[in-house]
């Protein structure tokens, strides 16, 4: 099986020994504590679940600035985005070397992780702007990732952590949320050698489904892992439970048995385009996938990034050998009325735009909200029904 990023063995930071975890939970009751942001909490979950292997905790300012500028930590580890714990008030923890990090997303704010504090450093406005420009490619305050990043606070807490739970992800999505180690175990149990991963924060329409089939066929893959983001999104995005139901229906009906796993991970979307695409590749290598599909405007939002910037970054900025996972580069896919099948548009040179079934996201939402299923060339009817029910319930 493909090795994890940066180490020979996966090193998740979740305290798996029950007696040790119980003792830490008790100890945490007497520790100084701080309620962290949703993004900080998602970082803790990803550290605990092994997706951020081989990191041992949150980055300090030097590493964050180095990663933003060069995609390497000060010590030379390849990493595409800073992993920070930013807070706006340190009065309760200042001067303490061991603290508890409390979950903002769960009622009562239980302790999510215990940290050994290496440093508490101030990230200046200029440094926030520097990181924003290098990671997100913009300083536009309307960008949802910029809005979130710049609103968390300017005190960076760094140091190793011990993770005590997986926030709301394990309880809200018990059949979908999986750690990187659990997916590795499932891949090994299935006997898969060549494994394709597909990232999504949206329901999968027919073009997405067929793209997965195309990648599996061309790579000779044994299996596909549909790996959906379960964390916080921007307003208007479809909730994770609805996406989960729609994707599972598609997988059950339109894929051969024992060829696809539907899973999810606990992270808040960055909308960082190319940099986030590289981060997504790190996640998938850590969970055991050998190949990762990156298509048009991967992890993008609005028009901040070029259609294929998330592919070209792997050629232009990711050093050769930095990652073991291979990228399957996909074009925009759509149903061809001339060929009566879904194709990658670049592979249909004799076509015009009118030869494809293309619908904007706005038009699809309008149709679903009106109880109208998109054409079957665009969306499978079983999937459309689930989405229609969701949109119509919004109005009730």
The C-alpha atoms of residue 55 and residue 159 are separated, in whole angstroms, by: 10
- Give the pairing type, strands 98-102 and 57-58: unpaired
The C-alpha atoms of residue 186 and residue 216 are separated, in whole angstroms, by: 18
Q: Of 53, 60, 102, 201, which is the active-site residue?
A: 201
C-beta separation of 300 from 274 below 8 A: no
Active-site annotation holds for 218:
no
- Quick one: 19 exposed, middle or buried, by C-beta within 10 A (0-12, 13-18, 19+)? exposed
C-beta separation of 231 from 37 below 8 A: no
Active-site annotation holds for 380:
no
Q: Of 116, 202, 248, 365, which is the active-site residue?
A: 202
Closest CA to 276 of 82, 50, 61: 82
CA dist 143 → 41, 230, 279 (Å): 21, 20, 19
Cβ neighbours around 334 below 10 Å, total: 24
Catalytic residues: 201-202
């Amino acid at each position: 099986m493909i090795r994890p990023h940066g180490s020979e063995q996966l090193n998740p930071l979740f305290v798996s020994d029950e007696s040790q975890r119980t003792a830490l939970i008790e100890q945490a009751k007497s520790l100084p504590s701080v309620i962290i942001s949703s993004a900080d909490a998602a970082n803790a979950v990803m550290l605990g679940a092994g997706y951020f292997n081989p990191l041992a905790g949150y980055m300090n300012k030097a590493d964050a600035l180095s990663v933003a500028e060069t995609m390497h930590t000060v010590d030379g580890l390849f990493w595409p985005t800073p992993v920070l714990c930013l807070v706006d008030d340190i009065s309760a923890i200042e001067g303490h070397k061991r603290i508890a990090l409390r979950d903002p997303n769960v009622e009562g704010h239980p302790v999510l992780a215990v940290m050994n504090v290496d440093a508490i450093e101030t990230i200046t406005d200029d440094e926030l702007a520097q990181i924003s420009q290098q990671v997100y490619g913009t300083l536009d305050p309307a960008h949802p990732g910029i809005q979130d990043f710049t609103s968390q606070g300017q005190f960076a807490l760094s140091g190793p952590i011990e993770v005590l739970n997986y926030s709301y992800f394990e309880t809200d999505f018990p059949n979908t949320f999986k750690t990187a180690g659990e997916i590795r175990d499932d891949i090994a149990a299935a006997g898969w050698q060549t494994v394709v991963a597909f990232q999504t924060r949206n329901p999968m329409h027919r073009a997405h489904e067929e793209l997965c089939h195309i990648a599996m066929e061309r790579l000779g893959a044994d299996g596909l892992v549909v790996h959906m983001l379960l964390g916080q999104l921007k307003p208007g995005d479809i909730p994770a439970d609805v996406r989960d139901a729609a994707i599972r229906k598609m997988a059950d009906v339109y894929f051969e048995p024992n060829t696809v796993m539907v899973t999810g991970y606990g992270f808040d979307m960055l909308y960082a385009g190319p940099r986030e695409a590289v981060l997504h590749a790190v996640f998938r290598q850590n969970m055991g996938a050998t190949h990762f599909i990156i298509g048009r405007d991967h992890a993008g939002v609005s028009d901040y990034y070029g259609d294929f910037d998330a592919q070209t970054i792997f050629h232009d900025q990711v050093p050769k050998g930095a990652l073991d996972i291979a990228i399957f580069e996909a074009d925009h896919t759509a149903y061809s009325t001339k060929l009566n099948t879904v194709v990658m548009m670049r592979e249909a040179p004799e076509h015009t735009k009118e030869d494809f079934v293309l619908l904007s996201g706005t038009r699809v939402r309008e149709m679903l909200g009106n109880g109208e299923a998109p054409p079957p060339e665009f969306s499978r009817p079983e999937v459309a029904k689930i989405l229609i029910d969701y949109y119509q319930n919004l109005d009730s």
